[in-house]
Amino acid sequence: MRRAVCPGSFDPVTRGHLDIVRRAAAVFDEVVVAVGVNPSKSRLFGPEERVAMLEQGVAGLGEAGANVRVAGFTGLITAYCREIDAHAIVKGLRSGTDFDYEVQMAQMNAHLTGVETVFVIADPQLGFVSSSLVKEVAAFGGDVSGLVPEFVLGPLTDRLAEKRA
Ligand code: PNS
């Protein structure tokens, strides 16, 4: 059983994330989407909300997501991988900037427990999509439909409005 973990904060989940999860699920026997629920970090959406959004997103993958499950994790990702007996961490790479950031984390994680990190190159159509940019554009009224799953659009608009109020 080759189990991989796909970690992130997913605040909120984007179509880019779901594309990486779908493609990881085609390579590994099981993929666990691990939602970082570190309480010290301030996020737009709470841990349960982000987990629920991922579950909905994975359900939307249909058969391609049949071997994917979603879980929250706290602490080190390497410890979580050991806990659930995962052999690899899967990360999406959009650009050289991602690479510079991810390579250090991959090397640190390998140093800690020897876990491998496998990189999946972003679909060029989604290479500009990030949760932070989606939030920034949506906060100024820009159209982010097509960049996040449809079910994220309403909660995103509502939460940004609450923050402004
Ligand atoms: O979506 P993000 O914010 O890029 O996700 C980052 C995440 C959650 C994958 C990363 O911060 C992480 O692995 N955090 C867990 C704590 C940890 O293991 N830190 C050391 C990484 S070398």
pLDDT in tens, 22-45: 999 999 999 999 999 877 678 999
Q: Is 57 in the pocket of ligand 1 (CB under 6 A)?
A: no
pLDDT over threshold 90, residue 147 = yes
Q: Give the tokens for residue 14.
A: 């984007």
Ligand 1 mean position to 88 CA, how many Å?
A: 14
Residues 64/52, Cβ–Cβ less than 8 Å: no
- Catalytic residue check, 3: no
**pTM attached to this predicted model:** 0.96
pLDDT of residue 37: 85
Residue pointed to by tokens 């249909």: 62
- Catalytic residue check, 163: no
Percent of the chain that is helix, strand, coil (3-state, to 5): 50, 20, 30
Ligand 1 mean position to 165 CA, how many Å?
A: 31
Q: Which of 40, 77, 118 to mutate to test the pocket of ligand 1 (most atoms within 8 A of CB)?
A: 77
Catalytic option among 22, 50, 91, 131:
131
Residue pointed to by tokens 């099981």: 30
